[in-house]
Structure 1
Amino acid sequence: MGKLTTHVLDTMHGVPGANIRIELFRVEGEELTRIKTVTTNFDGRTDQPVLEGEAFTTGKYQLVFHVADYYQHKDVDLGEIPFLDDVVIRFGLGEEGAHYHVPLLVSPYSFSTYRGS
């Protein structure tokens, strides 16, 4: 059975990104359908896979990580308009039974992601 997981690392502070709100959308053409909203735990992970079981189907998806809110709660001065507000990652799920892991390494001014394991 396939599943989608994520993990957020705060590279500014060198800690897991705890209490970050993440939204998952299915992308069909120009239309976005929100599937789920989750929050990372103390370890920067979600308590359950973001997508799994019968809900896990192939297609195009988008994760939105609300990182400006996270840094503002940590009293980081982001200025009047944050450079990174929401980090949006679009990706495809092409194998029905596979485990897709989308980690995010983030600071107020940069981010990186990859297909993890």
Structure 2
Amino acid sequence: MLDISSLVYSRLINDEQMKKYLKGSGTTKNDTPPSFPYLYMKTLGEPTTSSSLQNKQCAIQATFEITIYDSTSSTKAKQLIFLAADLMQKMGFTMNYGPTEIERSSTTEAYRWIARFRRTYCEGDVI
């Protein structure tokens, strides 16, 4: 099975520019992130798009959702989601939703910006 989620996540959080600003990141949903700014990456699916005659998976359509949380500023969260979008584009992804700000239900909630990305990944592709 092809799975690129770990590779994409590590490229995002280990980027020098991103490391300057992020205080935390994860792939497991938290109601309240432990530190801010925080990057959450969710894998929305990696279904097979191409198989060999031996029914071996040759290509997938990888889709990810990235959410940036910040406790102090919507502007900072917005800047980080745009930075994440640039990094995803460099890895060959296209944005198919967002970036958009999620409305806060109370003034104590963190600011959130969200975007979704997808790309076809074939076995042997370089990201």
Larger RCO (CA under 8 A, 6+ residues apart) = 1
Q: Quick check: TM above 0.5?
A: no
Shorter-chain TM-score: what band?
A: 0.3 to 0.5
Bigger share in strand: 1
TM-score by length of 1: 0.38
TM-score by length of 2: 0.36
Which has the larger Rg? 2
Bigger share in helix: 2
